[in-house]
Amino acid sequence: MNIIRIPVLNDNYIFLLHDRDSNTVAVVDPAVAKPVLAKIKELDAKLVAIFNTHHHSDHIGGNKELLKHFPEAVVYGGKEDKGRIPQQKYFLTEGDVVEFAGRKANVYFVPGHTKAHIAYYFPSVEDTQSGELFCGDTLFAGGCGRLFEGTPTQMVDSLTKLRNLPDSTRVWCAHEYTLSNLKFALTVDVDNQELQKRFRQVTLEREKYIPTVPSTIKVEKLTNPFLRWDSSGIKSSMALEEPARVFGRLRGMKDNF
Ligand code: ZN
Ligand code: FE
């Protein structure tokens, strides 16, 4: 399974999963259809599945148009998103398994950004230490999604599920927000050397417009303050202990950063 990243709109990423053997394609969070159709044409492939993480327009905007061209493609989304995702056929929840081209993906229910948000995790077929995580707007490189329809407690639970994935898991988040996320991170995790190193690296990458997605779970655990509510540095800078309260204060500060 080859993963192709398509940058669209201001800062969104659409991900195309391409299986060379069957020459089929699945797409994760198609904000728009045009560049996806162009890429599929270039590959001379066929679209069989749309994996939506949540109902926001910058994640589903291309569904309708893609289905016009590929009426047999199947739309997956969260159970709680019923009525909010165009042409949704499957209503997924925690523990469900979906398949693309013989590869299985585990579904995680990760509410917080929205009440229905799900993530798709394709474990590696070669080893148990890696995989591909498509987490929409729940976990970002260096940050996390805003709490539009959920609580800090829910988001901590959701992020805990993702944090428990293997270290080498690649994190394919839906936005290129990394540099601004890390600027905020530096203000709340001041003694974190790994974070400082990452900030320097990402600054250089973004000067050349190099994408910083995918990241890995390992890097996120070391440098993303929204996965570090139980680290001594974050706890002391928030002057709080309890995970949901630490997280809530952190999220509130980021909202106003
Ligand atoms: Zn969103
Ligand atoms: Fe988004």
> What pLDDT is stored for residue 96 in this prediction?
98
Write out residues in the chain with pLDDT < 50, as ranges. none
Are the beta carbons of 93 and 109 closer than 8 angstroms? Answer: yes
9 CB contacts (<8 Å, ≥6 apart)? Answer: 31, 32, 58
CA–centroid distance, residue 255 to ligand 1 (Å): 15
Distance from Cα 146 to the centre of ligand 1, integer Å: 8
**What ligand is nearest to the CA atom of residue 114?**
1
pLDDT of residue 189: 98
How far is it, in rounded angstroms, from Cα 195 to Cα 200? 9
| Ligand 2 center from residue 241 Cα (angstroms) | 30
- Centroid of ligand 1 to alpha carbon of 113 (angstroms): 7
Q: What is the pLDDT of residues 68-91, one digit of tens each?
A: 999 999 999 999 999 999 999 999
Residue type, 150: G
Distance from the alpha carbon of residue 106 to the mean position of ligand 1, in angstroms: 21
Tell me if the pTM is above 0.85.
Answer: yes
CA 59 to centroid of ligand 1, rounded, Å: 7
Give the position of tokens 């579904």: 107
pLDDT of residue 146: 98
Identify which ligand lies nearest to the alpha carbon of 54: 1
Q: How far is the CA of 45 from the centre of ligand 1 (A)?
A: 28
Write the CB contacts of 1 (distance below 8 Å, at least 6 apart in sequence): 17, 18, 19, 100, 101, 103, 122, 132
Q: What is the 3-state secondary structure (H, E, C) of 204-250?
A: HHHHCCCCCCCEEHHHHHHHCHHHCCCCHHHHHHHCCCCHHHHHHHH
Q: How far is the CA of 244 from the centre of ligand 1 (A)?
A: 21
- Report the DSSP beta bridge partners of residue 2: 18
Q: Give distance in angstroms: CA of 21 to centre of ligand 1.
A: 33
Which protein residues have a CB closer than 5 Å to ligand 1 (ion)? Answer: 56, 137
Interval between CA 126 and ligand 2 midpoint (Å) = 31
Domains of the chain plus CATH, in order, are 2-255 (3.60.15.10)
Closest ligand (CA of 55) = 1
